[in-house]
């Protein structure tokens, strides 16, 4: 029987290591908890293991040892990892990774294949999301016809297509200019304000500043956490 | 047209179905899609052309057994081909004496190289008294006499092809023969040849008393199969043919031809499968990130594989249709070749179209086996970091 406090956890990572072939220790014993509704930024230098941690949360990689539980599901025991990725988490990448042959609207519809949504419902949901992100006029544009910021917003809309409880973002502003980054951060604040759980990996301190909590990683481990009030950067 | 030169139909709708996705992916890589469809089309064309031409050749060869409108035909057992069958006068007489046999007509069938346009001209030696029972109707002129020399009856198709009428001269068998009449049998194979008095054609070919085939009619109320079995039992050196299929089995050359066609079909399918597999593999490598992304955003292995397979099957279908169209053209072209004119009548049947579809499907499925397995086993993480 779980403790009531544990039931609230969106993410519960315990004693996780990840050793890649060639004995590269990407993660060397990571413990992390994230509560539902929290926005957490994972920062750290390149190669510290922050993206690896995000990949484990997205169930596109598995830990060598330890356990990863997301939204109450032990990821090692998932019967259908695809269903988990489809329903529980939304993924946003540094490079939007939109399908170039599809319009913005269709790109947002793609994750909804395999759900019970009809084509009409898929379209309605995609429209709603694009409208939410001020992309109504871009519905029928191909990714090549969108600006970098617009592409990333389409990518977020796609990540939210199946109404996941947790948004996982890997360097979401890494390919954006300052104006697009500002718009993206406004959007992030909106989502966080609406109760979405967000775990993002970022190098950028101004982006991390929008999180409730910053996790710093170094050499595959988490550096003891810094209270928000004591953080050396501005928080909202 | 829509933006960037895309057809409006592919660009207008934001909503996508799985099928739309397949179409758009194929459209995005037009050159490769066309290449793959062309590879399938060529393989299907080869298979269908082989099939319809061999079937046409078999039909042409088998048509001879239906010229006589008999209940069954008798040929020499184990003959390499119909024309090398030999039945002598005694055997013919013994067949005629068997219970249930109403009449036997022995004919000698030979081929003659008339000219470049008619390299395989069919000559049938038959007694004039047997013409009616053989189903021959003289529509112009009159029949030749039983022992008439240098007289010939021309089938109406042959007369039209050669531009000869009654009174004309047909140069054949090293001599000039007067066309005494034009006949019709209602069988295109029979109507494209000529008929000579039996002794004359036996003389020309130095096989006195020999016939190639014997056409048997059974007495009314008698079971033809029973009589045919009786012939085979009484004269084990002979065999009987009641259908074109039986003819195909009796003629060893046709058996070899069919074996060659089957072998070529397997080869064409394998070559096609290799091309399909190679193209799909190339597509998989190029789109590894895309497949990784689809897996990462929740697509199942099955759905990802279905996308790849769906694209290939659609192209296979397109290739099958193209292949059938091409095979029409190629078979028609082959039939016009001087060496094959009059012999090859491509036989396009419904079965040929189904075989084309089956060929394309089998080829695609074999070719898709490895690429789809790789796609199914693709790790989303590795695929996303694939350069």
Confidence label for B353 from pLDDT (cuts 50, 70 and 90): confident
Token pair for B19: 């099928």
Least confident segment among A195-204, B296-305, B332-341 = B332-341
Tabulate helix, strand, coil % of chain A (nearest 5): 35, 25, 40
Among candidates B4, B16, B297 on the partner chain, residue whose Cβ is nearest the Cβ of A102 = B16
A182 touches chain B (CB under 8 A): no
From CA B306, how far away is CA B290, in angstroms rounded? Answer: 14
Contact A163, A2 (CB under 8 A): no
| Contact call for residues B146 and B127 (beta carbons, < 8 A) | yes
Q: How far A196 CA sits from the closest chain B CA (Å)?
A: 18
The share of chain B scoring above pLDDT 70, in percent, equals: 89
CB-based contact A97 B12, cutoff 8 Å = no
pLDDT at B167: 92
pLDDT band at B8 (very low <50, low <70, confident <90, very high): very low
Please write the tens of the pLDDT for every residue from A60-95. 999 999 999 999 999 999 988 999 999 999 999 877
Where helices occur in B78-164 by DSSP H, the ranges are 89-97, 156-162
What phi and psi, each to the nearest 5 degrees, are found at residue A104? -55, -45
| Token pair of A157 as six digits | 């809309």
Task: For residue B291, give every residue at least 6 positions away whose Cβ sits within 8 Å of its Cβ, in sequence order, or none.
Answer: B284, B304, B308, B375, B378, B383
- Whether residue A113 and residue B12 make contact (CB cut-off 8 A), yes or no, is no
Residues of A numbered 69-88 whose beta carbons fall under 8 angstroms of chain B's beta carbons: which are they?
80, 82-83, 85-87
Enter the ipTM: 0.87
Highest mean pLDDT among B10-14, B48-52, B195-199, B354-358: B195-199
Q: Which residues of B touch A154 (CB under 8 A)?
A: none
Q: Per-residue pLDDT tens for B92-147?
A: 999 999 999 998 989 998 888 888 777 778 899 999 888 887 788 899 999 998 77
Q: Confirm if A50 and A30 have CB atoms less than 8 A apart.
A: no
Report the interhelical angle of B30-67 vs B301-336 (nearest 10°). Answer: 50
pTM: 0.70
Residues of A with CB below 8 A from B303's CB?
113-114
In the block, residue with structure tokens 């290449």: B35
- CB distance B114 to B193 below 8 Å: no
Q: What is the DSSP string of B343-383?
A: T------HHHHHHHHHHHHHHHHHHHHHHHHHHHT--HHHH
Annotated domain spans of chain B: 3-59+255-384, 72-241
State residue B86 phi and psi, 5-degree precision.
-130, 130
Q: Tell which B residues from 274 to 303 touch A, by Cβ distance under 8 Å.
A: 289-290, 293-301, 303
Q: Chain-wide mean pLDDT for chain B?
A: 84
């Amino acid at each position: 029987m779980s403790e009531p406090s544990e039931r609230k956890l969106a993410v519960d990572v315990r004693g996780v290591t990840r050793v890649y072939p060639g004995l590269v220790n990407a993660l060397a014993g990571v413990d992390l908890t994230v509560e539902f509704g929290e926005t957490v930024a994972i920062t750290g230098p390149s190669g510290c293991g922050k993206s690896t941690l995000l990949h484990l949360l997205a169930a596109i990689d598995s830990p060598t040892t330890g356990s990863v539980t997301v939204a109450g599901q032990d990821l090692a025991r998932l019967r259908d990892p695809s269903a988990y990725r489809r329903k529980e988490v939304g993924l946003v990448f540094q490079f939007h990774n939109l399908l170039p042959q599809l319009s913005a609207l269709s790109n947002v519809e793609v994750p909804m294949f395999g759900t019970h949504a009809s084509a009409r419902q898929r379209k309605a949901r995609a429209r709603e999301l694009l409208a939410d992100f001020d992309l109504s006029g871009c519905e029928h544009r191909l990714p090549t016809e969108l600006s970098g910021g617009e592409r990333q917003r389409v990518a977020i809309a796609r990540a939210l297509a199946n109404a996941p409880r947790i948004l996982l973002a890997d360097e979401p502003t890494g390919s954006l200019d300052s104006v697009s980054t500002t718009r993206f951060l406004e959007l992030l604040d909106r989502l966080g304000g609406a109760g979405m759980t967000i775990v993002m990996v970022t190098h950028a301190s101004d982006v991390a500043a929008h999180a409730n909590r910053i996790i710093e990683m170094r050499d595959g481990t988490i550096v003891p956490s810094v209270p928000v009030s004591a953080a050396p950067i501005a928080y909202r | 047209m829509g933006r960037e030169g895309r057809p409006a139909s592919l660009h207008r709708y934001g909503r996508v179905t799985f099928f739309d996705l397949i179409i758009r992916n194929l459209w995005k890589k037009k050159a490769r899609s066309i290449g793959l469809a062309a590879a399938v089309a060529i393989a299907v064309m080869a298979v269908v052309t082989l099939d319809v031409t061999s079937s046409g050749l078999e039909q042409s060869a088998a048509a001879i057994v239906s010229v006589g409108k008999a209940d069954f035909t008798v040929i020499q057992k184990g003959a390499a081909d119909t024309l090398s069958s030999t039945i002598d006068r005694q055997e013919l007489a013994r067949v005629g004496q068997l219970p249930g046999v109403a009449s036997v007509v022995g004919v000698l069938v030979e081929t003659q190289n008339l000219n470049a346009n008619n390299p395989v001209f069919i000559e049938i030696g038959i007694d004039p008294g047997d013409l009616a029972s053989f189903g021959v109707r003289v529509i112009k002129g009159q029949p030749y006499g039983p022992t008439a020399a240098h007289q010939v009856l021309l089938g109406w198709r042959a007369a039209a092809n050669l531009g000869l009428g009654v009174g004309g001269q047909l140069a054949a068998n090293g001599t000039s023969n007067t066309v005494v009449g034009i006949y019709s049998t209602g069988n295109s194979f029979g109507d494209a040849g000529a008929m000579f008095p039996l002794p004359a054609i036996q003389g020309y070919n130095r096989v006195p008393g020999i016939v190639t085939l014997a056409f048997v009619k059974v007495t009314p109320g008698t079971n033809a199969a029973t009589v045919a079995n009786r012939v085979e039992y009484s004269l084990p050196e002979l065999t009987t043919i009641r259908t074109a299929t039986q003819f195909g089995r009796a003629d060893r050359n046709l058996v070899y031809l069919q074996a060659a066609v089957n072998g070529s079909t397997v080869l064409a399918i394998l070559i096609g499968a290799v091309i399909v597999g190679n193209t799909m593999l190339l597509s998989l490598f190029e789109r590894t990130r895309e497949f990784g992304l689809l897996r990462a955003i929740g697509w199942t292995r099955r759905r990802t594989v279905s996308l790849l397979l769906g694209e290939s099957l659609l192209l296979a279908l397109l290739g099958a249709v193209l292949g059938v169209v091409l095979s029409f053209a190629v078979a028609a072209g082959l039939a016009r070749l001087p060496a094959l004119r009059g012999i090859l009548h491509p036989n396009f049947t419904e079965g040929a179209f189904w075989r084309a579809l089956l060929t394309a499907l089998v080829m695609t499925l074999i070719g898709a086996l490895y690429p789809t397995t790789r796609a199914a086993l693709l790790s989303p993480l590795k695929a996303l970091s694939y350069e």
